[in-house]
Chains A and B, each alone.
Chain A
Amino acid sequence: MSASAKPIANTRSGTGIPTARLITWWVIASEIVIFGGLLASYIMHRIGHPEWAESASHTLTWAGALNTFVLLTSSLCAVLAHKAADAHDGPKAAKLLRLTALGGLIFLCIKGYEWTLDIREGFVLSSGGFWSFYYTLAGLHGLHVLAGMIIMLIVAADAAKNQELQRVECIGLYWHFVDIVWIFLFPLLYIAR
């Protein structure tokens, strides 16, 4: 597809930033407010309720740590895909994006296993304030992982044909943000007891 056939929003860059990347930054800015608000609410409640430490002691630290490792590794794949796209190597970028999505899938599988154990032990959304935050924060984050995986696979399909390579960086930015959110969720939900 030629540049002239694209919607004007994809070709202009009046701010000095390509519009696709600009939109991604705006999405990230709004996500900061969403996750930031939830995290801030959790922190203030957690400080006000020292008894939540007992609930927090039931979370599986090894599962949280493993998921952190998986997300950090998938972020590496995403940024290497960006590097490949910059080198106009679409097939390599597509391969790395699919690896990133695989990282997301592994993350969700570990999360699913962890939640299954939690629920079997009787810790559900209504088990108390800590568990409400635990499922809401991790669930919302998991939904973001799932959305990122779906978009990544769509971007990878185009990138494999050397098309729309600018999108590789944009989905990478989003993925790194999701990684940063988890970097803060891990100590808040799994380490601070």
Chain B
Amino acid sequence: MTTEAHVQHPNYVKIWAILVALLIVSLIGSMSHIRAVLLIAAFGVAVVKAYLVAKNFMHVNVEKRWVPYLLIVCLLFIFIFFAGVSPDVMKHSGLHWTNPSADQPAQPGAAAKHE
């Protein structure tokens, strides 16, 4: 049994070159002391790189429609998990509760962040 081509193969070397260029951009951006630049260089570029790999190497865009739906639903589950749990983890106190064991070690870091 052999494979049956279901995709038009683009110029993969060109896409690889773009991905390497984006890696260099993220490295240059990581040297910045401006937080916004750092975050965009780190995560904005990562999202673009992941998109390029999924589209051009995994060919998600030419796959049957429900495959991207399946992947999106899984990502949605992660988002729901994050939305539900993160308020309790990211904050160390609330209206009727405190978490001193988490708050104590976080204090020096939080202070340094605001300096």
Q: Which residues of A contact B (CB under 8 A)?
A: 1, 3, 6, 10-11, 15-18, 25-26, 28-30, 32-33, 36-37, 39-41, 43-45, 47-54, 61, 65, 68-69, 72-73, 75-76, 78-80, 82-83, 85-86, 88, 162, 164-166, 168-169, 172-173, 176-177, 179-180, 183-184, 186-188, 190-192
Contact residues on B (Cβ < 8 Å of other chain), bracket: 35 or more
Once bound together, how far apart are the Cα atoms of A6 and B75, in whole Å? Answer: 34
Contact at A186–B75, with CB atoms within 8 Å? no
Taking CB atoms, residues of chain A closer than 8 Å to B43 are 187, 192
Once bound together, how far apart are the Cα atoms of A73 and B15, in whole Å? Answer: 11
In the complex where A29-B71, A168-B3 touch, is A176 in contact with B54 (Cβ < 8 A)? yes
Contact at B70–A179, with CB atoms within 8 Å? no
Taking CB atoms, residues of chain A closer than 8 Å to B12 are 76, 79-80, 83
8 A Cβ contacts from B25-58 to A? 26-27, 30, 38-39, 41-43, 45-46, 49-50, 53-54, 56-58
| Interface check B100, CB cutoff 8 A | no
Between-chain CB contacts (< 8 Å), 30 pairs: A6-B1, A15-B64, A29-B74, A33-B74, A33-B77, A33-B78, A36-B77, A36-B81, A40-B78, A40-B82, A40-B85, A40-B86, A41-B89, A44-B90, A49-B106, A51-B105, A51-B106, A53-B112, A53-B113, A61-B27, A61-B30, A72-B16, A79-B12, A162-B2, A166-B2, A176-B53, A176-B57, A179-B53, A180-B54, A191-B41
